[in-house]
Amino acid sequence: MQLTADQGDIQVNKDVQAAKDIAMTTATGTITVGDAVTSTRGNVELKVGQGDVTVGKVVQADNGSIGVQVGTGNIVAADVTAKVNANMTVQNGNIRMHDVTAGQDATVSSTVQGSINAHNITSEGITYVALNQGDLFLNLAEGKGVLLKMENNTAASKVNQVLAEASGIGTDVAMTGNFIQIGAMAVKGGDAVFELSAMGAGNQKLISGNFSVESLSSASGTHMPTLWSNRGYVHVDAGALLLDDVLAVDKIHLDNAQTDIAIFGRTPTREGEQLTYWNNLSLADSKARSYQLDTDGRVRTHSTVLFDGGMNLYKLYGDNLSVLDMMNERETGRHGVFTFERRMFTEPGKRLQEQVIFDPKMWDFVGWQSNEEEDVVDKEK
């Protein structure tokens, strides 16, 4: 079935159903279907150069793909279900729909300007959701791999849940944006380390607004190459967390059930966390600052500036070791790997009972190893 108009509207008040391909195209005008668009054996293609595409009910391809493309205008639909691929793309305009489900890959994108508002976007392959300038409002993004591109977005953007497989062959979830704000992120399959990537807009390392994951769950651990952000918050519900390089402008908070960490870019203040670090933009060209947060509360770091380890380090922020002193220790001393042993807590939740040590021997985690000989110096009060 094919309906084409160079200039003008295509309007159908009831269902559109065909056994083979369905194609509706207009250069300037609107495509409006009052009820559902269904192809039982072929593909569905709805294409507008300038104008809106509006479907009152489901867009469905039982054995094919769905492609909805708009140049300037909006896409409004209920559910979109494709046996193969689902592709919903607008250049200038907004996308508003309920669920998008694809048997292979799902793509929902606004390539120049516009926001995306949807409930669930799921696929059996790659789920790709992208906007260049606007905001993303999404309940669930799910796939074997998930890519969320939120360029030039605002603090209004929010994704409630991200589910992806821990494939063991590359990045499982890739995210960009000024504000990357995720409710829950979890592994739905696979026993490899969960690989995450988070970058700022324009492929910059620094996330200029906020990065937050309110619940992160991966039994085999989670790895991020970088986390550079103005502000940040990550709560780990399951598994270890390894960050190769962390930089804060204001503050990044990391925690699990056992331990909480504050990483400051500004001058650190005592805000209740058990460990306080200082890693600001002046350190941007220095060695990578790594953090490993284990499920039992152990924290291991490298090339970081530790300011406060509770009651046990006697030359830290608030005492008699200045910022310059600590920087000199990091740059010239043999130390630089800090290990916080929370497992020695006699009463979890009480004041720190255990020691914090400077340990130049690196740890093993996803292939990390050190050739340095062990040299532990206790800094116990």
Per-run averaged pLDDT (10 residues), the chain, 381 residues: 73 88 92 93 94 94 95 95 96 95 96 95 97 95 96 94 94 96 94 94 92 96 94 95 92 91 84 79 69 85 69 37 51 51 42 44 38 30 29
With tokens 């150069």, the residue in question is 49
Number of residues written out for the chain: 381
Tell me the domain boundaries of the chain: 261-381
pLDDT for the residue 217: 96
Q: What separation in angstroms does the CA of 145 have from each of 106, 116, 170, 316, 347? A: 11, 19, 10, 43, 41
Going by DSSP bridges, is the β-strand pair 158-165/136-142 parallel, antiparallel, or unpaired? parallel
Q: How far apart are CA 210 and CA 204, in angstroms?
A: 14
Cβ–Cβ under 8 Å, residues 71 and 50: yes
Q: How far apart are CA 270 and CA 326, in angstroms?
A: 17
Q: How far apart are CA 67 and CA 125, in angstroms?
A: 16
pLDDT for the residue 375: 29
3-state secondary structure of 361: coil
pLDDT for the residue 216: 97
pLDDT for the residue 236: 96
pTM for this entry: 0.83
Q: How far apart are CA 260 and CA 256, in angstroms?
A: 7
pLDDT for the residue 368: 36
Burial 329-340 (b: 16+ CB within 10 A, else e): bbeeeebbbbbb
Q: How far apart are CA 36 and CA 22, in angstroms?
A: 12
pLDDT for the residue 273: 83
3-state secondary structure of 129: strand
Q: Show Cβ contacts of residue 258 under 8 Å, excluding neighbours closer than 6 positions.
A: 295, 296, 297, 342, 348
DSSP characters over 27-71:
EES-EEESS-EEESSS-EEEEEEES-EEESS-EEESSS-EEEEEE
Cβ–Cβ under 8 Å, residues 247 and 206: yes
Cβ–Cβ under 8 Å, residues 62 and 84: no
pLDDT for the residue 319: 34
User: Can you name the residues that pair with 216 across neighbouring β-strands?
Assistant: 185, 236
Q: How far apart are CA 59 and CA 98, in angstroms?
A: 11
pLDDT for the residue 67: 95
DSSP state of 193: P
